[in-house]
Structure 1
Amino acid sequence: MRTVVVIGTGLVGTSAALALAGRGIQVHLVDHDPQSARTAAALGAGTDEAPEARVDLAIIAVPPAHVASVLATALRDGIARGYLDVASVKGGPRRELEALGLDLTPYIGTHPMAGKERSGPLAATADLFEGRPWVLTPTRDTDTEVLNLALELVALCRAVPVVMDADAHDRAVALVSHTPQLISSMVAARLEEADETAVRLCGQGIRDVTRIAASDPRMWVEILSANPGPVADVLAGVAADLDETVRALRGLQSDDDARRREGTEGIEDVLRRGNAGRVRVPGKHGTAPTAYEMVSVLISDRPGELAGIFADAGRAGVNVEDVRIEHATGQQAGLVQLMVEPSAAPALSAALRERGWSIRQ
């Protein structure tokens, strides 16, 4: 692969362009908003000038509702040897393209499982896809050369290829991406009219749950409109769990011993099933999740504090596997929670104390 055209210079399109340009690929940027393409070009993602000849690969990075029309135009114009899209829904666009009667042998649907709450070219980074799954949905008609181009793209972006059926992909993302977005937004919506006293009590738990609620509503309306059935199916299951949980909580309010026992069992059941589901979420590098030990360090809000902690952990010979920061409301301080291998936690705690850090149990 030597030349690529990216049609759509939002977060995903520009991130892919940055990754490719950084590895020596000639990237041409196209967007319905010329200013967006110019912004991406200014970031080093390529050039907003049109290619002079047919390119090796065309990456269609537009919302799901526009994939079929944009891709159909590109196919008819013959701008590339191979074509792929990176939309978050795969079955619907494929069926739209088939209905147009186009030759789809030079096309493959793909979806990189990476994103942010922010959108647009300014949110893009060349490392957005590193280590993340990138789904490929070839059919029996997909040309081998196009599949190879898609695999090369995934490798250049340092992602991990995953081959799936398009409809199976849509059911999967309904569970692991689209429904969590809606539930996060629903929880955050409870805060809109909440008393200010309650809002001031927000801690790390509510911050974790509502982080993705900051996403662009217009973007998500387009995504959910392209995958409504599978998302509704998952939400129906969540709604059933909610009904059972509400009944269990009402049972805990009862004066009847049997109802209280049923309530306790109901709450325990949903929490245990939550534990079992959480264990299945892949851990670091896509491996089985590891039970890390947490070392909590009190820090002040001053430049260099985080760098100092990581430097001292390195001097102690301890690898920090993950990190979280819990901010103290209304104070210039917080807790840095360092996740490390259980066997390394005592040594790290001792080393940090020796270097003057305040460790919290």
Structure 2
Amino acid sequence: MAILRKACRNCTASKRKCVVQLPKCTRCAQRGLECTYDLEPLNAPAVHPGTLPKMSFNPSVCDTPGYCMMKTIRFRSPSIDPAICGPGHPDSFEVLRLGYKPVPELVKAGHPAIFVHPKLQIHCHNHLAALVEFGSVSYESFRRLIQLDLRAVPIKETLTALQALLVYLATFISSVNEVEKKKYLNILSDWTQVLLESAQANMPQDQSSWQAWLFGESVRRTIIMSYGLAMTLSSFNYGYCTGWLFLESLPFDRRAGLWTAESPQAWIAATGVRTGEEVGERLISYHKFAVNLDGSNFDFRGDTFLALLAFSHNGR
């Protein structure tokens, strides 16, 4: 059996420990190196680094079934059979209801949503705020959104555009035909790739420690939820999901209470330190987060994102 890489190419070549995070691992970030991850076996031929792995959300690429999170999720309606995740089964859309559809209402009320924090300062066009302001998710506003050239806008607008796209797709995607569905999933793939590639290089400057953390965590959560949406749709169509290995490698800050804090003071207090600079980032991969849950540490302090990831991976 081939052993998959658990480090970036630079750390693998140097035989150094790789602290996995995106868009660069700790060692590459400190040395100003380009950082490339992949999921090829260790005996795969090396390629020239410099580009991030291209993500594929094409649900027709299902020759290698991945782990289906919807087969194990138990946080569900009593009417849903937990043993079934066949094509077309409504299990797959339970994650949409839990994760995506409450976002506009929470943001409108000024509360942190699963991957959107209303206290992140956006000084450019906020596509998600526009959605919330109009009070409804319309197909016409969605069509206007997807005409956006994401590579020509500021990084924070890129973030809010992808967040709005996720909410729109969670609302509309089950009702469109297969041709349109494939088209929209390709847009989701492209936009997620743009955010993944540009977040580090275009990190907003002159931010407070809290705002810098909010931006980084918003990017990380949005990318994870983008994968989650694509995999949910795949499980609905085919009964299993692809891309699970890459999803499990994605990092986020699992410290409970930080995301739900609605002021810098509460954010600092949640970690028990004295200043914002001391909070920093403590990232963990989705895989390590899930396997380290032993049943005794399920206090997520109201953070739905952490709870949903735990339930999706472990089924409890």
* TM-score scaled by length of structure 2: 0.23
Highest Rg: 1 or 2?
1
* TM-score scaled by length of structure 1: 0.21
More strand by share: 1
Which structure has more relative contact order (CA 8 Å, sep 6+)? It is 2
